[in-house]
Structure 1
Amino acid sequence: MVHLSTPAKDTGVFSTEEVHPRRHRPSNLTRNRLPTQPLHAPPNVAAGFKQLHLSRAGPLRANLVGSDITKDSFTVTVETWGDGILYSATGTWIEHKAGARDCHFGQFDTAEVQPDARATPQEVEARISFPADVQRWKPHQRPPHVVCWLNRLDLAHEPGRNFRIAAHATRITDKGFTAHLDTWGNTRMAGAAMCWIAFPRGKKGVATGSFSTSDVRLWSKPRAENSGIVRFADVGQQFGVVPTVLVALNGFDIRGMRI
């Protein structure tokens, strides 16, 4: 997601290394207080993981939480639990004023869906309805954009299993969309969560898109670094100034421990 830079602090990045700078010393919980742009009321905040350094010697467990939101700041927490080992993590966050009618944030968690209501044990989905007061997304207009960021994951550690997860949205209309948290192959997902950000198509000064390793290489040829060029013109957007670019994870496919 991209939007024009402004003097106010309405986006940011938080790294656990700002609090615990040594990566080789894992920490179960890291917390910090972050400033936002001053507003008359506490804003809405969405956040997702941008980077994770987890040990595959245990389950892949990480949780990113924003809490205690006030008119000018909020608390960010990155944590793991049980046998999870987290060396470092980085999160991206964005806020908008409460009551904004042309943008909405939300959260979807697999815990909200009962096991017997799931599509399959590996595919968890639910229908999300936009708030009734979001009136700018009219039926005759194109459906809004929906951006999905992973902010919690719990993937089982077992010999021979890989770590795979994907957060995405389908069947987007002016009324809502279907949120997905899926895995595949031999991965076993104990739980996961994502934030979602919805805004109208054609919104001035805003563009969105995704980048995948499959855009630049074959799945069967993994490599440590994967990069590509994103051109804003390809998504029908031009900026008069250098924009802010926000990046967060919506999926990965990582090899686990071998048998």
Structure 2
Amino acid sequence: MSTDPTNSFTTSQVRPWDKPQTENSIDIKLAPNPPSFPMGLTALDIDKRHGIRIKAFTDNLTQNSVRVHLDAWGDTMLYMASCNWLEVFANDREFQHGSVSTMDDHPWNKPQMTTAIKVNFPKAFGAAPTVIVWLNELDLNEKHNWRVKATVSDVTSTGFIMHLDTWGDTIMYSATATWIAYPANRPNIMSGSYNIMDVRAWDQPRAVNQGNVEFNKALQMVPRVLSGLNMMDIGCSANMRIKLGMSNVSKTGMTWNIDAWGDTVLYSAGASYLAIQEL
């Protein structure tokens, strides 16, 4: 356990990658009136020989601190994981958020290929908002390729449908995604998604994948950007290794990376980003 003032956490802050353990946490100092924390996974390094199990969450919330976890369970060997989060305060007029799991629909031991769950906003928006999603929990069988995708559809002012899907022979025991919604007309917030398949075909796997995102319109200042995985398609013949990266962030866009290393077979992966110009 450690302390850190940023909006991100990696297990490398508290232990070396080659000493895997299931419980990994950091204490974050907070100002008074503590916020809530929609979280997204940004990197994973998990042994192929056991189930792929990872969960990003918070607990021990006080007026002064919160504990952020990147935990595994069962026989999973978690070498490394990273996440980031958005702080949302109770009186925030911009953002609403929540979390949806396949286990809201069916138990983990009755896996399905597709799951669709209706989400109602705590408070209705004036018009249909923008909604992004980040994966924050996975439980996948180790003997088949690891495929998962979180998307939304049918967005209205009162809610939307969350989809948590897999394909092929993947056995997805469970998956959970954070959703973040904000008014679509906010000039200081840009969001969207990017995917390896924007720059190459899925069946031409390679470790380093880079592309560019252009914001819908230029911001007045260089924004703070948060990003989280929303999709992955990784071969089970080697360890699951994936990491998001961002560079060249400007008022008009940024460069993204979705990379693997070692002998990992990265067919495809995608992420959602949230760019916020501080007012």
The alignment's TM-score, normalised by the length of structure 2, stands at: 0.79
Inter-partner Cα distance in structure 2 for 1:13 and 1:239: 23
Residues 1:149 and 2:149 are matched in the alignment:
no
Superposition map of 1:166-185 within 5 A: 166-185=149-168
Residues 1:252 and 2:232 are matched in the alignment:
yes
Superposition map of 1:124-163 within 5 A: 124-132=115-123, 134=124, 137-138=125-126, 141=127, 143-158=128-143, 161-163=144-146
Inter-partner Cα distance in structure 2 for 1:122 and 1:99: 38
Equivalenced residue count is 232
The more displaced of 96-105 and 169-178 is 96-105
State whether residues 43 and 69 of structure 1, in contact with CA within 8 Å, keep that contact through their aligned partners in structure 2. Answer: no
Residues 1:189 and 2:181 are matched in the alignment:
no
Query: What displacement does 1:25 show?
Result: 1.7
Instruction: Tell me the secondary structure at the aligned position of residue 138 of structure 2.
Output: strand
Query: What displacement does 1:97 show?
Result: 1.0
Inter-partner Cα distance in structure 2 for 1:109 and 1:91: 18
Of Structure 1 and Structure 2, which has the larger fraction of its residues in strand? Answer: 2
Inter-partner Cα distance in structure 1 for 2:92 and 2:221: 24
Q: Tell me which of the two structures has the higher relative contact order, counting C-alpha pairs closer than 8 angstroms and 6 or more residues apart.
A: 1
- Aligned residue in 1 for 2:44: 52
CA RMSD of superposed structures (Å): 1.8
The more displaced of 79-88 and 96-105 is 96-105
1:16 is aligned with what amino acid? T
State whether residues 43 and 71 of structure 1, in contact with CA within 8 Å, keep that contact through their aligned partners in structure 2. Answer: no
Residues 1:102 and 2:82 are matched in the alignment:
no
1:128 is aligned with what amino acid? V
Following TM superposition, the consecutive aligned residue runs of length 4 or more in structure 1 with deviations greater than 6 angstroms are none
- Aligned residue in 1 for 2:250: none
- Aligned residue in 2 for 1:14: 9
2:122 is aligned with what amino acid? P
Aligned with residue 203 of structure 1, among 172, 177, 186: 186
Query: What displacement does 1:74 show?
Result: 1.3
The alignment's TM-score, normalised by the length of structure 1, stands at: 0.84
State whether residues 187 and 219 of structure 2, in contact with CA within 8 Å, keep that contact through their aligned partners in structure 1. Answer: no
State whether residues 61 and 154 of structure 1, in contact with CA within 8 Å, keep that contact through their aligned partners in structure 2. Answer: yes
- Aligned residue in 2 for 1:27: 21
Inter-partner Cα distance in structure 1 for 2:46 and 2:18: 11
Aligned with residue 90 of structure 1, among 65, 78, 82: 82
Query: What displacement does 1:12 show?
Result: 1.0
Residues 1:218 and 2:190 are matched in the alignment:
no
Query: What displacement does 1:72 show?
Result: 4.1
- Aligned residue in 2 for 1:5: none
Query: What displacement does 1:240 show?
Result: 2.1
2:166 is aligned with what amino acid? T
